[in-house]
Structure 1
Amino acid sequence: MRTPRSPLIASLIEARGNPRACMYTEPLWGIPFNLYAPFASVYMLALGVSESSIGLIATVGLSLQMITSVLSGPITDKLGRKRATFIFDTVSWSIPALIWAFAQDVTWFYAAAICNSMLRITMTSWTCLFIEDAPANKVVHFWTWVHIAGLLSGLVAPVAGLLIERFELIPTMRAFYFFTFVSMTAKFVILNIVCTETEQGMRRLDETRGVPLRTLVWELIRTIPRVLRTRGTFLAVVVLAMNAIYITIRGSFFAVLLQEGLGFSPGQIGYFPAIRSAVILLFFFFVIPRLHQERHIGTLVLGIIATAAGTVLLIFSPVGSIGFVALATLVEAVGAALLAPYIEAFVTAVIDPRERATVLAIVGTLVLAVASPFGWVAGLLSEQAKSLPFVLALGVLTIALTLLLIRNPERETSAR
């Protein structure tokens, strides 16, 4: 008797068209990103960048992303999902990788942040390319596979740490960034060859032909009040903003806390992203497929609680205690596993597909407007005490949890 195939496995095998191309090429982005990302802030410190400057660079990048986010919907509609993705993937990832590889001081990192801020355009265009032609009942599974690709890639972090200890931080990180340029650029070229424009993308190309970009931007700005009046979209903005703040703080200051505050070596730091990836992978394969795929709020609440609990453990970790930080990482990973696919699926569910590019652009802009100051604030806090950025992150998670419980649109739908 044939064993029933897991819905998650089936979604990957049976995927066709753009979703298949986007999922299958994701490791070419994820592997290099996870080689350098855990050590990026330590690399900056080694090149003489202060902790407050690290935070300010993050804030400058997020502030510029507000502008590119406003432009992302109109540009995606004017150029098409496929063309916009190829152009701005290259600008926002390939070029910064080369700048990081040659970086000498803080000026280089500001230049890279300017280029990298274009990622908001490709986030909108790539999301549309990825899911616009996908079956609605497969969207959570498809997003799960995107995150799985990143997590499998994250298992290389211990190797990165060992290489840094063997060959020293700065030359090894430069090599990682060169590899990033080659691998990510290969992904962008392959995706551009294999993908086709979506049906909605073709429709928007026809509708916006001959319409000036400034007109589309003005139409987008006029749409903002209507978007915010939609209960589900407003909640999506809040949750995404809180999550963006948390990710910015953790991404910028986790390695700083471990090295400068808790006394870990680069080799030891590399194991924690691998632990996190392994836990999230287990959840993706054995827990997420058993959860409700079209109701999201309950899972998001559990995810935030677990993330907050992991953050508390990290704040109170004793100096040099690998076991305590490993426990904090494990608990936080459970939260990340629940949040990652369900945030994306929730946002997809509350957006009118006819206006997806426009609304994604608005949502992205509003999220950045809220999140952009927090990188700089966290940098100032880190200079006072290495754990203080995570106290700030805990407060942000608490706000997100409270609003989800108070303004749950799914509870109202059930009541009707």
Structure 2
Amino acid sequence: MASSPGSLWHTLIHLRGNPRACVWTEPMWGLSMALVLPYLSVFMLTLGLHDAQIGLLATAGMISQVFFGLAGGIITDRMGRRLTNAVFDVIAFVIPCLIWAFAQDFWAFLAASLLNGALQVTANAWDCLMVEDAERDQITGIYSLVRVAADCSALFAPIAAFMVAQFGLEPAVRVLFINAAVVMLAKIILLYAASTETRRGLIRMEETRHESLWRLFVGYREAARLLGRSHGSLLALAIAALVAAVTLVNGTFWQLLVNQHLHVPDPVLPFFPMVRSLLSVLFLFTLIRRLTSGHDLKQATLWGFGIYLAGQLVLVAIPAADGDADIMTYALLGVCLLLDSFGAGMLFMLSESLVAFHVDEAERSRVMALQRTAVMLAAAPFGWISGWLSGIDRTYPFWLTSALLVIGVITTIVWWAGPHTEPSVEAVSADHA
């Protein structure tokens, strides 16, 4: 059946150049990092780390991301989008995976977390590589496809579950980290070979070739001014900061809660990200696409925050079982995943697309780096705070995320009650075409 011009299938089929290279190599994430990340917190707990230490590592990783995020725009402009992505993917993923594979104590995990913060550099370079030469009307579809690729990667979760069931959690996770390093290296090589430097990237490389690092850092003042005067970018920044904090807490402590508090067995853990991801794909192709197409973004944002909030409240309401998790526990976790996948998917689409639409093309690299830095600074304390809360009661971090999502609802209502009303995603795209 032929795909309509506005469909994700149409976008996928007609991608060319750098957008095609970025989107089509993204599923390799599923054979690398997605296989092992669901086990990282439980793996640390198995090796003797405490909840507070795990939370501290999350905060340290965020602080590292702040540093790398601020430097990311300068590095991306000086080295170029393509080379920056390749070099810093190795620093952010390949090397940390090898450290995690052989880690024995807190200090090894700390070293890996600090290096992993370099993902902010490669994220900035990768975003620029992907969208700078793309058609404006493809941007929302491209980000949706990236989300779909990331979500579909969880289909490989049964591989990890089988390995944990057969060999035990610690040895299986160590092997999975080695696999992640190898597959990520292959992804880096393929993307580098299939891509070219963007037109804007070539211009920025030439413009910054003879500029000092100090002058490049001073250039952030102009980027900050551009960011501050764009109402759409400020709204996207607020959404992204709240979502980043909630994502940090969920990514670090969700698996600990279901494993230690609800007594879900280790081999079952990777199936939760798989189900969440499949639901996210379904929602992106259906409800989320409809709610962000021709509708007021206020409604879409409120749906995102409200449903995500409902998912977090369902999670904390699940009673702990005396023994292994029962059928009711799994049913309620299913409801939680249903709500979380919709809410998180909606907010991801809105924050990423709004920033891409509103960023000045000439300053995309530095503005997006500044935006990421602000988001990481806002989210960083919540790793340590949620670790401290989890040490008291493993449900407390999710009361914290619920409060953050309530703030998101209030922020959205207050914003649109003021003079900063924004049009729909499609209208924004048309205005910038």
TM-score range, shorter chain: over 0.9
Contact 1:137 1:293 in 2 (8 A): no
Match of 2:131? Answer: 131
In 1, distance between residues paired with 2:3 and 2:387? 51
**Does 2:105 match 1:110?**
no
In 1, distance between residues paired with 2:298 and 2:201? 30
Match of 1:325? Answer: 333
Q: Which amino acid aligns with 1:25?
A: T
Match of 1:387? Answer: 395
Change in 2 beyond 3 A, CA 1:191/1:216: same
Change in 2 beyond 3 A, CA 1:173/1:210: same
Shift of 1:302: 1.0
Match of 1:300? Answer: 301
Shift of 1:114: 1.4
Change in 2 beyond 3 A, CA 1:233/1:199: same
Q: Which amino acid aligns with 1:336?
A: A
Q: Which amino acid aligns with 1:324?
A: L
Contact 2:81 2:201 in 1 (8 A): yes
Superposition TM-score, scaled by structure 1 size:
0.95
Contact 2:297 2:423 in 1 (8 A): no
- Shifted more, 148-157 versus 404-413: the winner is 404-413
Contact 1:351 1:359 in 2 (8 A): yes
Match of 1:309? Answer: 310
* Equivalent runs, 1:233-382 vs 2, <5 Å: 233-293=233-293, 296-319=297-320, 320=325, 321-382=329-390
Shift of 1:404: 1.9
In 1, distance between residues paired with 2:29 and 2:414? 38
Shift of 1:78: 0.7
Contact 1:69 1:361 in 2 (8 A): yes
Q: Where do 5+ consecutive residues of structure 2 fail to align?
A: 425-433
Shift of 1:300: 2.5
In 2, distance between residues paired with 1:238 and 1:288? 20
In 1, distance between residues paired with 2:166 and 2:423? 57
Q: Which amino acid aligns with 1:133?
A: D
Q: 3-state SS of the aligned residue for 1:133?
A: coil
Q: Deviations over 1:348-380 (max 9, x none)?
A: 112111111111111111111111111000000
Change in 2 beyond 3 A, CA 1:123/1:4: closer
Shift of 1:195: 0.6
Q: 3-state SS of the aligned residue for 1:77?
A: helix
In 2, distance between residues paired with 1:222 and 1:215? 12
In 2, distance between residues paired with 1:122 and 1:232? 24
In 2, distance between residues paired with 1:256 and 1:220? 39
Match of 1:411? Answer: 421
Contact 2:276 2:341 in 1 (8 A): yes
Contact 1:38 1:157 in 2 (8 A): no
Change in 2 beyond 3 A, CA 1:305/1:375: same
Change in 2 beyond 3 A, CA 1:413/1:300: closer
- Shifted more, 280-289 versus 128-137: the winner is 280-289
Q: 3-state SS of the aligned residue for 1:386?
A: coil
Q: 3-state SS of the aligned residue for 2:219?
A: helix
Shift of 1:284: 2.0
Report sequence identity in percent.
Answer: 34
